Structure 1
Amino acid sequence: MKANYIKNVIQSYDKSPYECILIDGPWGVGKSYAVKEILDNNNNACHISMFGIKDAQEIYHEVFFQLAIKDKQKIRVLISKAKKFGAAISDKIATAERIIESLIKEKELFLNISKSFNVFHYIVIDDLERMNNSIELEEVFGIIDELKRCNYTKVILVANTEQMSQKELFEKYSEKVIDRTYYITECPEKVDWAKLKIHYGFITEFLSSHHVKNLRTLQKAQNFYDDVRLKLKDSYNDEFYDEIRLACYAIVVETIDNLYYEENEQTSNMSEIFREIRNKLEQRIKIYYLRGIKMSNNMIDMLLKYHENEIDITAAEIDAEYQIFMHAGEKANYYKSDNEIKQLLPSLSEKIIQETNIAKILRYADEYFIWSEHLQLDIKKLEDEYKTRLIMMIYDEVMNGVIDYLTFGVEALHIQSQTNKKIYKEVEETVKNKVVCEYIKYLSENTYGEQAFQYSYTLRQFANNVFLQDAISGNTDSLYNENSFPIHNVTEQQYRTSHNIMYVLYHENKEKFLDYCDKLKTRCDNMSTHRINVLLEEITSEKIIVK
């Protein structure tokens, strides 16, 4: 099962009969990543890692402070009642408040506060297999069992049970506490690569050739590239950066996952010799990942030894390798005549129009514009065609939920041509406005169903992104209608959609939004007013005075 299935499980968790589920699977397949991606924006979710916890009772501490402490008013009421009780039974105590506050445990406070929950709260307990050996698993399961019985509370466990030291105890007690287990074996199909600081175009192409299942391996590969990138000048050719990144990924992925290692078979001695040669790490990297690139074998060997901490790489060594790279293969464009450059342009133009990979189109366009500008050619027609095509392609990607292309920026894409930079910025602006208009138009007419929820969720992401907020500003008037609020024919999904829309409106124009809410509540029934107040309290983090 792929990790993206977790999204479906958690999105419908509030409707399922289960109170405690386990997300099980090997390290690195994206279990924790997928859970956090879904619940990160949920203020009624808390994440606890058992790694580093020394006492099982600390679970109550984390749950209390992450979920309950935000409701300070309810805590004050509980303590006030306890104070009166304490003062009544002990006239010898000078300050009842001090004694009571020291006696009331976080466990009891949370269990009392949970009685007033009216929406589901999610408690994620991760890294069970990394739990301190001094902690008894039986005690942990007892706490989990108590938490899952709380009002409107669901528990999500995340673990690699194959690595649990208390395996027998786990098998003994798990069926009594865990209602269902979901076993994850592969990374999610859709990953927010921008959040992991991984280039979307590159990783898409890389994974189409190399079937890496471990998300943590890819993060380590990106970290290695970022490390090497610090040693590179900013003036190198884009293709050189691309090949360096590919080599870094190849080194890390093959070192950790051994994707192309051949197991021993009963064959002839000669075949065995060839297999041993092919199985050497440097050979697997060069044969299966880097065949046909311009980078020298020496540069690859340097990167591999640097990764293995055998050597350091100096700026002078990289400069020398870059010069070799620039002169590899055919004569570099820099040394060609006008006529030779002109012969290249039709092929680049065709690639710009026919290529389906956005990253490659950007690279072809960059090269085309750079040499065309040097030759002072009139390329206005191709610029218009390129811009129109880029708008359509990026718009389709964003409407499918991939907003990376609106957040990368020209620097992250290594665009060098000033013409290309200008066009890409215009494309970003056009797509931003077009997408936001599409979302708002749809939501102003319909706030029911999965499509409405996804649009509202992405619109909320826009509102939280400094690069995308301007597309929303001044364009939300049509959302000021009763459909945007949890009033008529409310469902759980429509309620969440309303939450997202109200969040966007509040952050777009706080005063206008709150004024509209006050007027709207005068026309609503009591339950509608209550739902609006609950969402307002959560969005504004302030106690709403019910009028």
Structure 2
Amino acid sequence: MNKLNDLPYQTILFDGKWGIGKTKYIMDSINDKENVYYISLFGKKDINVFYQELYYLLLSKHKVKFKKVIDKIGKINFSQFGFNISIPLISDIFESIQEELENTTNITIIIDDLERKKDEFDIREVFGFVDSITKKEGTKVVLVASSDNFSTETKKNFEEYTEKSLDRIYKISTYSKDAPQKILGDDIWSAIEEIYQDNELKNLRTLEKANLFIKEVIKVIPSSIFTSKINKEDIYKICFSVVLFEVDYKGEMQPLTENDGKNHRAFHEAYNSKEKVPNYIWHYILKQNLNNPMMSKFIPTFLEWFSTGDFSKHQFNEIVKLVNTYVESRHPLFMSEEQIVKESEQFSTFINNLGQDISLKNILQRLDELANIIEKTELKFNYQADEVVKWITNSYDFNSYNDYDDTYFDILMRRESKFINEVLSKLQFKIKSNYKNNQIAVMVANAKKLDFTHNETNETAEFLRFFDRLKDEEKDNVVQEMKNNKWFLPLPLGEITDSHWTYCHNIFQCIVEIDGRVKASIIKDVHDFCEREIEDATDKIFKYRLRSLIKQYLSV
């Protein structure tokens, strides 16, 4: 574009995919140039709309030069408010313009977005215009298109006329190497270049959107927050990664590569955790590459900000406080003997040195490192396993047993120190015991109800899932609890509700499923219990209901 006047061609086509920067590069190259006129066909429905915009464009640049042209055309109203043009006169106007510019050289008309015109706008009319205007020496026309995005009919006509009407076609497959740096500027580019290279971006619009978002963030957040722990470079990286995920990835987590799949911890955090999208960005786009890893806490806030425009100052300030107050734990291997002895004197000292938002895994890792070096050096270790377990269970939510099953603990218990393995064993027992007691308490409470919500009727399924995760001895203990509590059956006495009857069916289905999961059958015991209830009852409808359940589910 910079050498356009030196080229022998009058008609040129730049053809390339969307997003590689065709329009931006052209606009940058024609900035402040005389006798260059740019028109986009975006949304235009016919050639007349194109002619009218071109006329306005020419007139706006040459008001004085064209005043006598306007004076010659009686049907045009010229006023301080602009020009009102009668569409039937467009061709006359254009002829008048050509006459006035006969002595002007090096005129360039750029027609962009050929593929974005309306379907009813026949592209052959554009080529007709090109043939007509370029008969005048010194007039050049540059067409810009993404031919891959033409409709079938337009593509057919386009291919037919390009050979006849165009002197030169340039196929643009990628943007210039310095385009990303020019868009983002040196500071931002140096921060995000590695992320950019890892993701092989082909769309400059992602960079433009990232640049705008970074500018928005930097403008909104106070400059006073930047410290040795909170730095602009990490802000740039997070913003760019968020935009990349939302724009290029279209908000979808990409399938793992073979190498990524080998990191099971990263996989779990990105695909199975509650904060899976922020974790995905952290592990697979940022690749944990921040100057301060604690800055990753900003990812959910910036993701919400870019996606919805919603920015919570309170939430942002809380994260700032968290990042600034976090003290990174020192590895015991690098501590002096005096430091290790001091930290191992009281568990409360260890707790006070932890970050406010540290995960359970990291706590156990830190404890293991400390206990391991103390055990191997035979220093005195004053922590008690029970106090550690008590603090962990009070500090973390273990209501969901799904996240803390035997497999989870079996993996965690492959640790170096004897102390941490004792902690894990006791923690596992306590969590499972609490969960078992909670599950049994729910089922006992339901056995006393006469009406059930939808969620309550489904609690038998959750109980069964819990039962499946137990070891054989634990299953026997739970079966005994069921037997002691009338098999958790809310007896269908008197007037009952539909939900009560549904729950009774669910209990019997649960009993049948459990029977197939234990060594000794429980069907006879349940059958005998029901027969005793029938024998003791005087309510004939109740007897009928219970016999129907026995017949449907229990075969002795």
Structure scoring higher RCO (CA < 8 A, sep ≥ 6) equals: 1
TM-score with structure 2 setting the length: 0.47
Larger of the two Rg values belongs to structure: 2
TM-score with structure 1 setting the length: 0.48
